């Protein structure tokens, strides 16, 4: 599987957002992870389609992976696709018909992913296993950056890897030089890191080191 490192823009300096997007792109990271939050689904708010559009404007070739932490993602799919989302990740805990919404995402020409919160059992994903391009396993409770990695979530990664050896599996939350290799051993091949990467003075070196740390572990 292709190794992918994704800086999460949530940890960027919002006063210099355009520069931060470019800093993430020139670091050699594979894609930008954009965290969209509504306060019904998580106890926080972040940003909306305008920031996705800004990312497309300042870094058109930097892949945009958009994580919708929303109760009703179905109301916003077109808006995020039009803004430049290339993968849309919707939560399995959302309040909508997932089979329908996954089909709608695909019809928009965007990759489809389902996301599971830490407390959500792996079995909930099984009916959708053949309807997604990627699975995102949350390794923190969504809502904030900078939280501690929950290692127990990795058993879901291992199970999904066993069931779908060919599918992209991402972890999100608390990603750093220790937890990312652990996630790779469990079977993940895509790794989000927000506060860890944006706090580096040399993001390029940090991305390179993370990549080296999982080489040989990613199946
Ligand atoms: C959590 C977000 C994560 C977060 C990751 O609600 O979905 O993407 O930004 O940030 P770190 O890597 O700092 O845990
Ligand atoms: Zn995220």
176 Cα nearest atom in ligand 1? 12
Taking residues 178-194, report their average pLDDT: 98
HEC string of 114-136 equals EEECCCCCHHHHHHHCCCCCEEE
Sheet containing strand 134-138, strands side by side: 4-7, 190-193, 168-172, 134-138, 111-116, 87-91, 63-69, 31-37
pLDDT at position 219, please?
79
Ligand 2 midpoint to CA 163 (Å): 23
pLDDT digits (tens, 9 = 90+) for 13-72: 999 999 999 999 999 999 999 999 999 999 999 999 999 999 999 999 999 999 999 999
pLDDT at position 64, please?
99
Q: pLDDT-based confidence at 171, cuts 50/70/90?
A: very high
| Separation CA 195–CA 8 (nearest Å) | 8
> φ and ψ at 117, to 5 degrees?
-70, 160
pLDDT digits (tens, 9 = 90+) for 3-20: 999 999 999 999 999 999
pLDDT digits (tens, 9 = 90+) for 120-147: 999 999 999 999 999 999 999 999 999 9
Ligand 1 midpoint to CA 101 (Å): 24
pLDDT at position 124, please?
98
Mutate which of 171, 173, 191, 193 for ligand 1? The one with the most ligand atoms within 8 Å of its CB, which is 173
Which domains does the chain show, CATH number per domain?
4-214 (3.20.20.70)
pLDDT at position 34, please?
99
pLDDT at position 40, please?
97
Mutate which of 31, 35, 43 for ligand 1? The one with the most ligand atoms within 8 Å of its CB, which is 35
pLDDT at 217 over 90: yes
pLDDT at 92 over 90: yes
pLDDT at position 137, please?
99
Ligand 1 midpoint to CA 115 (Å): 13
Query: 188 CB less than 6 Å from ligand 1?
Result: no
């Amino acid at each position: 599987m292709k190794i992918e490192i994704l800086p999460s823009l949530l940890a960027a300096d919002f006063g210099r957002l355009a520069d931060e997007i470019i800093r993430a792109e020139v670091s050699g990271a594979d894609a930008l992870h954009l965290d969209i939050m509504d306060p019904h689904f998580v106890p926080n708010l972040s940003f909306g389609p305008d920031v996705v559009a800004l990312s497309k404007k300042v870094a058109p070739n930097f892949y945009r992976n958009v994580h919708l932490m929303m109760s009703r993602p179905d109301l916003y799919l077109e808006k995020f696709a039009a803004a430049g989302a290339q993968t849309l990740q919707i939560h399995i805990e959302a309040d909508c018909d997932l089979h329908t919404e996954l089909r709608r995402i695909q019809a928009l020409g965007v990759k489809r992913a389902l996301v599971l919160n830490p407390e959500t059992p792996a079995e909930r994903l099984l009916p959708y296993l053949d309807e997604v391009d990627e699975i995102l396993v949350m390794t923190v409770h969504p809502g904030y950056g900078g939280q501690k990695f929950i290692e127990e979530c990795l058993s879901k990664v291992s199970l999904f890897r066993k069931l779908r050896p060919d599918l992209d599996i991402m972890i999100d939350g608390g990603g750093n030089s220790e937890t990312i290799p652990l996630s790779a051993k469990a079977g993940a091949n895509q790794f989000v890191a927000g506060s860890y990467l944006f706090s580096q003075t040399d993001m390029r070196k940090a991305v390179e080191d993370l990549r080296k740390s999982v080489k040989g572990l990613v199946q």
